[in-house]
Amino acid sequence: MIPTAPDELYLPDATVVALVGAGGKTSLMQSMAAHAVASGQTVIRTTTTKLAGDTDNPFFWDGRKTSLPLIQTRLSRNRSLTLVRDRDPTTGKLIGLAPEAVDLLAASSLADRIFVEADGARGKSIKAPAGHEPVIPRSTNKVIGVVGAEALGAPMDETHAFRPERLAAISDAHPAGSVDAHALARLVTHPQGLFKSTPPSPCRRILFVNKMDRVGEAAWNMLAQARRLVGAAHQDGSGFAMQWFAGSVNEGWLRPVD
């Protein structure tokens, strides 16, 4: 869990939370799920893409309404459940649910919270989505865009970025350039950027920059500059993530980016 996390991160009225981006979606999802369970809530964790095959005790669901009682029985015992559709026989990864299946779960009210990992990043620190992603269910009422702090100031290359050419195009940057404040601001606000496919209001957006324990003051300054750029370009609030946070899931802390 993140003991210092403010209420804005958890938003108790956000039933379906989708996590997108790169740099720690799975660890943040696990932390938020643990916080919800500790608060007495029931939790379903899932994905609309794939999860690592070493996930503890996954529950396989066919996505049908008739089998919802099986999920209810399991939740009544454990209060927390990782729900997937199948396992890839080649890679061993767990195959996630169709977005319509997540919507069915949300409508059933079986769980207080549903956390959805809505795209993949192959272990990179930053990404811009492809045309087919992220896969965000319509029932989602909060989207958290995640960026790994190690990408800040780093070259916009395959070492740090998943699909660096798309990141360069979206951020209007030279492909051989670096991830600077301008690039981050563009990624956050561009229609094809980090929050692409987010459902319309009242779905809320939060930017979370993870792994700040691995970088220095220059990264904090870059984040503050990026936020100012977004604020100046969108004074009416459009295209602006509701809250910006930065911290470390691993160390269990975060703070707002002012």
Position 51 confidence tier, pLDDT thresholds 50, 70, 90: confident
Which candidate, 222, 119, 206, places its Cα nearest to that of 166? 119
Q: What phi, psi does 8 have (nearest 5°)?
A: -60, -30
Report yes or no on 170 lying in a domain.
yes
Which residues span the domain enclosing 118? 7-41+114-256
- Quick: pLDDT tens for 128-162: 999 999 999 999 999 999 999 999 999 999 999 99
CA distance linking residue 88 with residue 241, whole number of Å: 35
Residue 56: predicted pLDDT: 77
Separation of CA 96 from chain center? 15
Starting from the edge strand earliest in sequence, which strands make up the sheet with 142-148, in order?
A: 59-60, 80-84, 43-47, 113-117, 16-21, 142-148, 204-210, 243-248, 253-256
- Full-model pTM: 0.94
Report yes or no on 233 lying in a domain.
yes
CB distance 78 to 43 below 8 Å: no
Report yes or no on 175 lying in a domain.
yes
Report yes or no on 73 lying in a domain.
no
Report yes or no on 247 lying in a domain.
yes
Report yes or no on 122 lying in a domain.
yes
Domain count within the chain: 1
Residue 6: predicted pLDDT: 65
- Quick: pLDDT tens for 52-110: 877 778 999 999 999 999 999 999 999 999 999 999 999 888 999 999 999 999 999 99
Residue 13: predicted pLDDT: 76
Report yes or no on 243 lying in a domain.
yes
The CATH number for 121's domain is: 3.40.50
- Quick: pLDDT tens for 220-258: 999 999 999 998 877 666 656 678 999 999 999 999 998
Report yes or no on 46 lying in a domain.
no
H/E stretch holding 145? strand 142-148
Residue 141: predicted pLDDT: 94
Q: What are 201's two structure tokens? A: 């209001």
